Amino acid sequence: MKVLQCPACGHRVNIKQAAATKKVNGIFMLQCANCQQWSHENQKAAALKNLGLFMLLVGSVMGYFQLGGIVTGPMLAFIGGLIAVATQHAIPRTLHTP
């Protein structure tokens, strides 16, 4: 179960028990059940996370078909996964101001 912390009140929000969720311009927004404030990912963090996931996918396909040698594909997949996970955990969510 994915749990995120609300940047406004610090309440831990479970995604499945959130007050509301929506996706705007490809960015996942979450409403806190405690304070009713909307929060979202940083735009640059979302782009970097998507780049890491794309690298993970390309590296996995390269490793499966052994394109570019035995080491290149899995290394690319590992680096892409590391970028995606690090971005998700290191950059905090920001409050939505309409």
pLDDT tens track for 22-44: 888 877 888 888 888 888 888 89
By mean pLDDT, which of 11-15, 47-51, 65-69 is the weakest?
A: 11-15
Q: CA-to-CA distance for 32 and 39, rounded, in angstroms?
A: 8
Dihedral sign for Cα atoms in the order 62, 67, 69, 70: positive
What's the whole-model pTM score?
A: 0.74
Which of 17-21, 22-26, 57-61 has the largest mean confidence? 57-61
